[in-house]
C-alpha cells in the first residue's frame, strides 16, 4: 500500500485536470484530435442527477463518465445540442488510487480518461475490457 507522508496534501481538482490534459496530449494524433474536442470537467463527485440516472447509490463507484453522442452515432447533419463532456470525479479516483496502491495517480487518471474517450468513439464497456484488462 502507498504510504502518504505526514503533512501531505491530497491532490486537488486542478492537479487531476492537469493529469487528464497530459493524458490527452499523450494520445496518438487522431485520438488526440478527437479528445481535444470533448469538454473536460473535473468535480469532487458525480452530481446527484447523474448518479440517479445511472442508478448508482454510492458516489465512490463512479470515477468517470462520458456524456454525449458517440461518434458512431453522430451525423454531419445533426445539430449539436450540447458539447460532449468527459467527467472525472476526484474523490472516487483518489479513493481507488489509495486502495490499489500499485499504480501512479497519472496512470489511474489516464486509464479513466482513455476509458471515457473510448466511449466517445462508440466502444462499449465490454469492448474496452477486451483490450484493456485493467482489473486483472
Total domains, the chain: 1
Q: What is the pLDDT of residue 1?
A: 45
Q: What is the pLDDT of residue 112?
A: 94
Is 40 a member of any domain? yes
Q: What is the pLDDT of residue 126?
A: 78
Is 54 a member of any domain? yes
Give the domain extent around 122: 13-66+83-131
Is 8 a member of any domain? no
Is 42 a member of any domain? yes
Is 111 a member of any domain? yes
β-sheet bridge partners, residue 87: 41, 65
Q: What is the pLDDT of residue 95?
A: 96
**pLDDT average per 10 residues of sequence, the chain (136 residues):** 63 93 90 89 97 96 91 68 90 94 92 89 75 60
What residue has cell string 477486451? 130
* Exposed e or buried b per residue across 66-92, where buried means at least 16 C-beta atoms within 10 angstroms of its C-beta: bbbbeeeeeeeeeeeeeebebbbbbbb
**What pTM did the predictor assign?**
0.84
Is 4 a member of any domain? no
32: domain CATH number?
3.30.2010.20
Is 89 a member of any domain? yes
Amino acid at each position: 500500500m502507498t504510504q502518504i507522508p505526514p503533512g501531505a496534501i491530497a491532490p486537488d481538482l486542478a492537479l487531476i485536470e492537469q493529469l487528464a490534459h497530459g493524458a490527452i496530449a499523450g494520445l496518438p494524433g487522431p485520438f488526440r484530435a478527437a479528445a481535444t474536442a470533448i469538454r473536460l470537467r473535473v468535480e469532487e463527485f458525480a452530481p446527484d442527477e447523474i448518479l440517479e440516472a445511472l442508478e448508482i447509490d454510492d458516489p465512490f463507484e463512479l470515477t468517470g463518465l462520458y456524456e454525449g453522442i458517440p461518434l458512431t452515432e453522430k451525423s454531419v447533419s445533426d445539430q449539436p445540442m450540447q458539447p460532449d463532456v468527459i467527467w472525472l470525479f476526484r474523490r472516487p479516483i483518489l479513493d481507488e488510487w489509495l486502495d490499489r496502491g500499485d499504480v501512479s495517480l497519472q496512470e489511474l487518471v489516464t486509464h479513466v480518461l482513455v476509458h471515457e474517450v473510448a466511449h466517445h468513439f462508440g466502444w462499449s464497456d465490454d469492448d474496452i475490457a477486451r483490450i484493456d484488462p485493467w482489473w486483472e
